[in-house]
Chains A and B, each alone.
Chain A
Amino acid sequence: MHDRTPLSPKGLVDEYFIENRTRLLEIAAFLDRVDRVDPSYPAKDFRMKAFLEALASLARTGDRVDHIQMLLSDPSTEPLEALDRKSAVGAYDRWRRE
Protein backbone atom coordinates (compact mmCIF):
# COMPACT_ATOMS: atom_id res chain seq x y z
CA MET A 1 0.00 0.00 0.00
CA HIS A 2 1.21 3.48 -0.82
CA ASP A 3 -1.76 5.43 0.42
CA ARG A 4 0.09 7.54 2.93
CA THR A 5 3.41 8.91 4.02
CA PRO A 6 5.43 6.38 6.02
CA LEU A 7 6.23 9.03 8.66
CA SER A 8 4.25 9.08 11.92
CA PRO A 9 1.80 11.96 12.40
CA LYS A 10 4.24 13.64 14.75
CA GLY A 11 7.10 12.90 12.36
CA LEU A 12 5.17 14.58 9.55
CA VAL A 13 4.49 17.66 11.60
CA ASP A 14 8.10 17.77 12.85
CA GLU A 15 9.30 17.61 9.25
CA TYR A 16 6.82 19.97 7.57
CA PHE A 17 5.59 22.41 10.21
CA ILE A 18 8.14 25.19 9.78
CA GLU A 19 7.94 25.41 5.99
CA ASN A 20 4.14 25.47 6.10
CA ARG A 21 4.14 28.05 8.88
CA THR A 22 6.14 30.18 6.45
CA ARG A 23 3.58 29.60 3.69
CA LEU A 24 0.77 30.58 6.02
CA LEU A 25 2.49 33.85 6.87
CA GLU A 26 3.20 34.50 3.19
CA ILE A 27 -0.52 34.28 2.41
CA ALA A 28 -1.41 36.50 5.37
CA ALA A 29 1.19 39.04 4.29
CA PHE A 30 -0.13 39.04 0.72
CA LEU A 31 -3.68 39.72 1.91
CA ASP A 32 -2.48 42.50 4.26
CA ARG A 33 -0.48 44.01 1.38
CA VAL A 34 -3.58 44.17 -0.82
CA ASP A 35 -5.58 45.63 2.10
CA ARG A 36 -3.02 48.37 2.64
CA VAL A 37 -3.52 49.49 -0.95
CA ASP A 38 -7.31 49.06 -1.08
CA PRO A 39 -9.23 46.85 1.37
CA SER A 40 -12.30 46.91 -0.87
CA TYR A 41 -10.41 45.53 -3.87
CA PRO A 42 -10.61 41.75 -3.27
CA ALA A 43 -14.42 41.88 -3.51
CA LYS A 44 -14.06 43.27 -7.05
CA ASP A 45 -11.58 40.79 -8.50
CA PHE A 46 -12.81 37.26 -9.27
CA ARG A 47 -9.34 35.83 -8.63
CA MET A 48 -9.35 37.21 -5.10
CA LYS A 49 -12.94 36.13 -4.52
CA ALA A 50 -11.99 32.58 -5.47
CA PHE A 51 -8.82 32.83 -3.37
CA LEU A 52 -10.75 33.88 -0.26
CA GLU A 53 -13.29 31.10 -0.78
CA ALA A 54 -10.43 28.65 -1.07
CA LEU A 55 -8.94 29.94 2.18
CA ALA A 56 -12.25 29.46 3.95
CA SER A 57 -12.36 25.89 2.70
CA LEU A 58 -9.12 25.06 4.51
CA ALA A 59 -11.37 24.43 7.53
CA ARG A 60 -12.64 21.28 5.78
CA THR A 61 -10.98 17.94 6.40
CA GLY A 62 -9.63 15.35 4.01
CA ASP A 63 -10.37 16.79 0.57
CA ARG A 64 -9.04 20.33 0.70
CA VAL A 65 -6.85 20.13 -2.39
CA ASP A 66 -9.56 18.59 -4.58
CA HIS A 67 -12.06 21.12 -3.33
CA ILE A 68 -9.79 24.08 -4.03
CA GLN A 69 -8.82 22.74 -7.46
CA MET A 70 -12.53 22.62 -8.32
CA LEU A 71 -13.18 26.10 -6.89
CA LEU A 72 -10.51 27.50 -9.21
CA SER A 73 -11.51 25.49 -12.31
CA ASP A 74 -13.66 26.39 -15.28
CA PRO A 75 -16.66 24.06 -14.79
CA SER A 76 -18.04 24.50 -18.32
CA THR A 77 -17.95 21.62 -20.77
CA GLU A 78 -18.19 23.21 -24.22
CA PRO A 79 -15.18 24.48 -26.18
CA LEU A 80 -14.84 28.23 -26.76
CA GLU A 81 -16.01 29.39 -30.18
CA ALA A 82 -12.93 31.57 -30.60
CA LEU A 83 -9.58 32.08 -28.93
CA ASP A 84 -9.82 34.97 -26.44
CA ARG A 85 -6.31 35.03 -24.98
CA LYS A 86 -3.27 32.84 -25.02
CA SER A 87 -2.97 31.83 -21.37
CA ALA A 88 -4.97 30.90 -18.31
CA VAL A 89 -5.07 33.36 -15.38
CA GLY A 90 -5.37 30.96 -12.45
CA ALA A 91 -9.04 31.22 -11.51
CA TYR A 92 -12.38 31.01 -13.30
CA ASP A 93 -14.74 33.98 -13.16
CA ARG A 94 -17.87 32.37 -11.73
CA TRP A 95 -19.32 35.80 -10.99
CA ARG A 96 -19.32 37.16 -14.52
CA ARG A 97 -22.73 38.06 -15.89
CA GLU A 98 -23.16 36.91 -19.47
Chain B
Amino acid sequence: MKYIDHHAHMVSRTTDDYQQMALTGCVAVTEPAFWAGWDRSSANGVEDYFRQLTEFEPGRAAQYHIQHYTWMAMNPKEADDRELSRDVLTRIPKFLDKPTVLGIGEIGLNRVTRNEVDTYTEQIDLALTHRQLILIHTPHLEDKLKGTRISLDAMSGFPKLDPSRVLVDHAEEHTCRMILDLGYWAGLTLYPQTKVSPQRAADIVETFGPERICVAGACDWGPSDPIAVPRFIMEMRRRGHPEELIYRIVFENPVQFLSQSSKFRIRPSVAKELAF
Protein backbone atom coordinates (compact mmCIF):
# COMPACT_ATOMS: atom_id res chain seq x y z
CA MET B 1 0.00 0.00 0.00
CA LYS B 2 1.27 3.46 -0.86
CA TYR B 3 1.78 5.79 2.06
CA ILE B 4 3.09 9.22 3.05
CA ASP B 5 5.15 9.83 6.17
CA HIS B 6 4.40 13.43 7.10
CA HIS B 7 6.93 13.54 9.95
CA ALA B 8 10.31 12.06 9.10
CA HIS B 9 13.67 13.54 10.12
CA MET B 10 15.52 12.06 7.20
CA VAL B 11 18.75 14.02 7.70
CA SER B 12 19.51 11.63 10.56
CA ARG B 13 18.84 8.58 8.40
CA THR B 14 20.93 6.56 5.98
CA THR B 15 20.04 5.79 2.37
CA ASP B 16 19.27 2.23 3.57
CA ASP B 17 16.32 3.75 5.43
CA TYR B 18 15.13 5.57 2.30
CA GLN B 19 15.35 2.25 0.50
CA GLN B 20 13.32 0.48 3.20
CA MET B 21 10.68 3.17 2.98
CA ALA B 22 10.54 3.02 -0.82
CA LEU B 23 10.29 -0.78 -0.74
CA THR B 24 7.36 -0.58 1.68
CA GLY B 25 5.35 1.89 -0.42
CA CYS B 26 6.43 5.33 0.76
CA VAL B 27 5.95 7.90 -1.99
CA ALA B 28 6.51 11.13 -0.07
CA VAL B 29 7.99 12.35 3.19
CA THR B 30 7.74 15.74 4.84
CA GLU B 31 10.57 16.73 7.14
CA PRO B 32 9.96 19.29 9.87
CA ALA B 33 12.93 21.33 11.04
CA PHE B 34 13.96 19.99 14.44
CA TRP B 35 16.64 19.77 17.10
CA ALA B 36 19.80 17.86 16.21
CA GLY B 37 19.98 16.19 19.64
CA TRP B 38 22.54 18.83 20.69
CA ASP B 39 22.31 22.62 20.69
CA ARG B 40 23.61 24.49 17.68
CA SER B 41 26.10 27.23 18.46
CA SER B 42 24.61 29.91 16.21
CA ALA B 43 21.87 30.89 13.79
CA ASN B 44 24.38 30.23 11.01
CA GLY B 45 24.38 26.58 12.06
CA VAL B 46 20.58 26.51 11.90
CA GLU B 47 20.60 28.19 8.50
CA ASP B 48 23.00 25.56 7.16
CA TYR B 49 20.51 22.96 8.38
CA PHE B 50 17.73 24.77 6.49
CA ARG B 51 19.89 24.59 3.36
CA GLN B 52 20.40 20.88 3.94
CA LEU B 53 16.61 20.42 4.22
CA THR B 54 15.77 22.47 1.14
CA GLU B 55 18.70 21.82 -1.18
CA PHE B 56 20.39 18.52 -0.34
CA GLU B 57 17.79 16.19 1.14
CA PRO B 58 15.26 16.30 -1.76
CA GLY B 59 17.92 14.85 -4.06
CA ARG B 60 18.78 12.06 -1.66
CA ALA B 61 15.10 11.09 -1.45
CA ALA B 62 14.66 11.34 -5.21
CA GLN B 63 17.21 8.55 -5.71
CA TYR B 64 14.55 6.28 -4.20
CA HIS B 65 11.66 7.94 -6.06
CA ILE B 66 10.41 9.48 -2.83
CA GLN B 67 9.21 13.08 -2.91
CA HIS B 68 10.81 15.11 -0.12
CA TYR B 69 9.15 18.20 1.36
CA THR B 70 10.12 20.22 4.38
CA TRP B 71 9.02 22.73 7.02
CA MET B 72 10.99 25.66 8.41
CA ALA B 73 11.07 26.51 12.11
CA MET B 74 12.94 27.39 15.22
CA ASN B 75 12.53 24.02 16.92
CA PRO B 76 10.92 23.66 20.37
CA LYS B 77 14.02 22.17 22.03
CA GLU B 78 16.06 25.32 21.37
CA ALA B 79 13.16 27.78 21.46
CA ASP B 80 13.81 28.76 25.07
CA ASP B 81 16.91 30.57 23.79
CA ARG B 82 15.25 33.82 22.79
CA GLU B 83 18.31 35.43 21.30
CA LEU B 84 18.97 32.49 18.98
CA SER B 85 15.26 32.23 18.19
CA ARG B 86 14.93 35.88 17.17
CA ASP B 87 17.93 35.53 14.89
CA VAL B 88 16.63 32.30 13.31
CA LEU B 89 13.18 33.80 12.74
CA THR B 90 14.66 36.59 10.64
CA ARG B 91 16.26 33.95 8.41
CA ILE B 92 13.19 31.77 7.81
CA PRO B 93 11.27 33.97 5.33
CA LYS B 94 13.87 33.65 2.58
CA PHE B 95 13.36 29.86 2.60
CA LEU B 96 9.57 29.98 2.38
CA ASP B 97 9.54 30.41 -1.40
CA LYS B 98 11.69 27.31 -1.96
CA PRO B 99 9.80 24.75 -4.06
CA THR B 100 9.62 22.04 -1.37
CA VAL B 101 8.83 24.13 1.72
CA LEU B 102 5.24 23.48 2.80
CA GLY B 103 5.02 25.68 5.86
CA ILE B 104 6.22 26.51 9.36
CA GLY B 105 7.09 23.56 11.60
CA GLU B 106 7.70 21.89 13.81
CA ILE B 107 6.99 24.70 16.22
CA GLY B 108 5.73 24.24 19.75
CA LEU B 109 6.70 23.68 23.34
CA ASN B 110 9.22 21.41 25.03
CA ARG B 111 9.30 22.01 28.78
CA VAL B 112 6.57 24.64 28.41
CA THR B 113 8.51 27.72 29.51
CA ARG B 114 7.45 31.33 29.00
CA ASN B 115 10.28 31.80 26.51
CA GLU B 116 9.14 28.77 24.52
CA VAL B 117 5.59 30.13 24.44
CA ASP B 118 6.88 33.48 23.14
CA THR B 119 8.94 31.86 20.38
CA TYR B 120 5.99 29.65 19.49
CA THR B 121 3.46 32.48 19.17
CA GLU B 122 5.91 34.55 17.11
CA GLN B 123 6.14 31.65 14.67
CA ILE B 124 2.36 31.31 14.38
CA ASP B 125 2.34 34.97 13.53
CA LEU B 126 5.09 34.40 10.96
CA ALA B 127 3.12 31.54 9.39
CA LEU B 128 -0.03 33.64 9.12
CA THR B 129 1.86 36.60 7.66
CA HIS B 130 3.29 34.36 4.95
CA ARG B 131 0.13 32.24 4.51
CA GLN B 132 1.90 28.99 5.46
CA LEU B 133 0.61 25.66 6.72
CA ILE B 134 1.57 24.95 10.33
CA LEU B 135 2.98 21.77 11.90
CA ILE B 136 2.97 21.72 15.69
CA HIS B 137 5.14 19.57 17.94
CA THR B 138 3.52 18.78 21.27
CA PRO B 139 5.84 17.91 24.16
CA HIS B 140 6.42 14.35 25.26
CA LEU B 141 5.52 12.23 28.27
CA GLU B 142 4.33 14.11 31.37
CA ASP B 143 4.59 17.46 29.58
CA LYS B 144 2.24 16.55 26.73
CA LEU B 145 -1.08 17.35 28.38
CA LYS B 146 -0.05 20.77 29.67
CA GLY B 147 1.92 21.61 26.52
CA THR B 148 -0.94 20.68 24.21
CA ARG B 149 -3.44 22.73 26.21
CA ILE B 150 -1.20 25.81 26.20
CA SER B 151 -0.35 25.35 22.49
CA LEU B 152 -4.02 25.22 21.56
CA ASP B 153 -4.84 28.16 23.86
CA ALA B 154 -2.16 30.28 22.19
CA MET B 155 -3.66 29.58 18.75
CA SER B 156 -7.07 30.76 19.91
CA GLY B 157 -5.49 34.22 20.17
CA PHE B 158 -5.18 34.32 16.36
CA PRO B 159 -8.68 34.83 14.92
CA LYS B 160 -7.34 34.64 11.34
CA LEU B 161 -5.93 31.16 11.89
CA ASP B 162 -7.80 28.40 10.04
CA PRO B 163 -7.58 25.18 12.11
CA SER B 164 -7.82 22.98 9.02
CA ARG B 165 -4.39 24.35 7.97
CA VAL B 166 -2.74 23.21 11.22
CA LEU B 167 -1.58 19.70 12.12
CA VAL B 168 -0.96 19.15 15.83
CA ASP B 169 1.51 16.31 16.03
CA HIS B 170 2.49 13.69 18.61
CA ALA B 171 -1.13 13.43 19.75
CA GLU B 172 -2.00 10.64 22.19
CA GLU B 173 -5.13 9.25 23.82
CA HIS B 174 -5.48 12.12 26.29
CA THR B 175 -4.87 14.94 23.79
CA CYS B 176 -6.62 13.74 20.61
CA ARG B 177 -10.08 14.87 21.64
CA MET B 178 -9.14 18.48 22.39
CA ILE B 179 -7.18 18.75 19.12
CA LEU B 180 -9.91 17.29 16.91
CA ASP B 181 -12.78 19.11 18.63
CA LEU B 182 -11.19 22.45 17.73
CA GLY B 183 -10.95 21.47 14.06
CA TYR B 184 -7.20 20.83 13.87
CA TRP B 185 -5.56 17.80 12.31
CA ALA B 186 -4.04 15.31 14.75
CA GLY B 187 -0.81 13.45 14.01
CA LEU B 188 0.08 10.18 15.73
CA THR B 189 3.82 9.55 15.90
CA LEU B 190 4.78 5.90 16.19
CA TYR B 191 7.85 4.97 18.20
CA PRO B 192 9.18 1.49 18.86
CA GLN B 193 9.70 2.02 22.61
CA THR B 194 8.90 5.33 24.18
CA LYS B 195 5.62 6.70 22.89
CA VAL B 196 2.67 5.53 20.77
CA SER B 197 2.89 2.00 19.35
CA PRO B 198 1.17 0.92 16.11
CA GLN B 199 -1.30 -0.98 18.32
CA ARG B 200 -2.29 2.09 20.31
CA ALA B 201 -2.44 4.19 17.15
CA ALA B 202 -4.94 1.68 15.74
CA ASP B 203 -6.88 1.92 19.02
CA ILE B 204 -6.96 5.72 18.69
CA VAL B 205 -8.27 5.46 15.12
CA GLU B 206 -10.94 3.04 16.33
CA THR B 207 -11.90 5.44 19.12
CA PHE B 208 -11.88 8.74 17.23
CA GLY B 209 -12.52 7.65 13.65
CA PRO B 210 -10.31 8.41 10.63
CA GLU B 211 -11.30 12.05 10.12
CA ARG B 212 -8.31 14.46 10.28
CA ILE B 213 -5.92 11.83 11.69
CA CYS B 214 -2.51 11.03 10.15
CA VAL B 215 0.24 8.68 11.30
CA ALA B 216 4.01 9.10 11.00
CA GLY B 217 7.22 7.41 12.04
CA ALA B 218 9.37 10.31 13.29
CA CYS B 219 12.52 8.78 11.81
CA ASP B 220 14.77 10.86 14.01
CA TRP B 221 18.22 10.47 15.52
CA GLY B 222 16.89 8.52 18.52
CA PRO B 223 15.25 5.09 18.66
CA SER B 224 12.64 5.27 15.91
CA ASP B 225 11.53 3.17 13.01
CA PRO B 226 11.66 4.29 9.37
CA ILE B 227 8.95 1.76 8.50
CA ALA B 228 6.61 2.57 11.39
CA VAL B 229 3.76 3.47 9.04
CA PRO B 230 3.84 0.04 7.30
CA ARG B 231 3.75 -1.51 10.79
CA PHE B 232 0.60 0.50 11.47
CA ILE B 233 -0.85 -0.79 8.18
CA MET B 234 -0.07 -4.35 9.27
CA GLU B 235 -1.65 -3.78 12.66
CA MET B 236 -4.85 -2.47 11.08
CA ARG B 237 -4.96 -5.48 8.74
CA ARG B 238 -4.34 -7.83 11.65
CA ARG B 239 -7.58 -6.57 13.19
CA GLY B 240 -9.53 -6.94 9.97
CA HIS B 241 -9.98 -3.26 9.15
CA PRO B 242 -10.85 -2.62 5.49
CA GLU B 243 -8.10 -1.54 3.09
CA GLU B 244 -10.07 1.62 2.20
CA LEU B 245 -9.96 2.79 5.81
CA ILE B 246 -6.24 2.10 6.12
CA TYR B 247 -5.47 3.84 2.83
CA ARG B 248 -7.47 6.85 3.92
CA ILE B 249 -5.32 7.27 7.01
CA VAL B 250 -1.89 6.62 5.51
CA PHE B 251 -2.40 8.29 2.13
CA GLU B 252 -5.59 10.21 1.47
CA ASN B 253 -5.59 12.09 4.78
CA PRO B 254 -2.03 13.38 4.51
CA VAL B 255 -2.69 14.32 0.87
CA GLN B 256 -5.79 16.23 1.94
CA PHE B 257 -3.87 18.16 4.57
CA LEU B 258 -0.60 18.71 2.70
CA SER B 259 -2.15 19.62 -0.67
CA GLN B 260 -3.47 22.78 0.93
CA SER B 261 -0.01 23.93 -0.07
CA SER B 262 0.15 24.31 -3.87
CA LYS B 263 3.73 23.03 -3.71
CA PHE B 264 2.63 19.54 -2.65
CA ARG B 265 2.57 17.70 -5.96
CA ILE B 266 0.23 14.81 -5.09
CA ARG B 267 -3.27 16.18 -5.55
CA PRO B 268 -6.37 14.69 -3.85
CA SER B 269 -7.87 13.90 -7.26
CA VAL B 270 -5.08 11.42 -8.02
CA ALA B 271 -4.98 9.86 -4.54
CA LYS B 272 -7.84 7.51 -5.44
CA GLU B 273 -6.20 6.43 -8.70
CA LEU B 274 -2.95 5.57 -6.92
CA ALA B 275 -4.75 3.30 -4.45
CA PHE B 276 -3.23 -0.12 -3.68
Closest-by-CB residue of A relative to B115 is A83
Range class of the B interface residue count? 35 or more
Q: Judging by beta carbons under 8 Å apart, are A88 and B142 in contact?
A: yes
At the interface, is chain B mostly helix, strand, loop or mixed? Answer: helix
Evaluate contact between A69 and B174: CB separation under 8 angstroms. Answer: yes
B245 touches A2 (CB 8 A): yes
- Alpha-carbon separation in the docked complex, A77 to B239 (Å): 38
Contact of B111 with A by CB under 8 A: yes
In the complex, chain A residues whose CB is within 8 Å of the CB of B241: 2, 5-6
Partner of B209, one of A2, A7, A65, A81: A2
> Which 4 pairs between the two chains have the least Cβ-Cβ distance?
A6-B240, A88-B141, A69-B174, A73-B145
B239 near A7: Cβ-Cβ < 8 Å: yes
> Quick check: is B122 within 8 A (CB to CB) of the other chain?
no
- Verify B145–A79 contact, CB threshold 8 A: no
User: Does any Cβ of A come within 8 Å of B238's Cβ?
Assistant: yes
Asked if B77 is an interface residue, CB under 8 A from chain A, the answer is yes
The residues of B that contact A81 with a CB separation of less than 8 Å are 113-114
A79: chain B residues within 8 A (beta carbon): 112-114, 116-117, 150
Inter-subunit contact A76/B173 (CB<8 Å): no
Is the C-beta of B144 less than 8 angstroms from some C-beta in chain A? Answer: yes
Query: Complex: how many Å from CA A90 to CA B116?
Result: 20
Residue interface bits B126-154, CB-to-A below 8 A is 1, else 0: 00000000000001111111100110000
**Separation in Å of the B232 CB from the closest CB of chain A?**
14
Given contacts A72-B141, A74-B146, contact A4 B113 (CB under 8 A): no
Binding-face segment, B48-56, B86-94, B199-207: B199-207
Contacts of B110 in A (CB 8 A): 86-87
Q: Which residues of A contact B245 (CB under 8 A)?
A: 2
Chain A residue at minimal CB-CB distance from B245: A2
Does residue A84 face the partner (Cβ distance < 8 Å to B)?
Answer: yes
Q: List B contacts of A98 (CB < 8 A).
A: none
- A77 touching B146 in the complex, CB below 8 Å, given contacts A2-B205, A86-B77: yes
Residues of B within 8 A of A74 (CB): 142-143, 145-146
Residues of A within 8 A of B239 (CB): 5-7, 15
Q: Is the CB of B172 within 8 A of A69?
A: yes
CB distance from A69 to the nearest CB of B (A): 4
Give B241 Cβ to nearest chain A Cβ, in Å: 6
Q: How far is the CB of B81 from chain A (nearest CB, A)?
A: 9
Type the 1/0 row for B101-119, where 1 means its CB is closer than 8 Å to any CB of A. Answer: 0000000001111111100
Which of B77, B139, B146, B173 touches A75 (beta carbons < 8 Å)? B146
Across the interface, do B111 and A90 meet the contact criterion of CB distance under 8 Å?
no
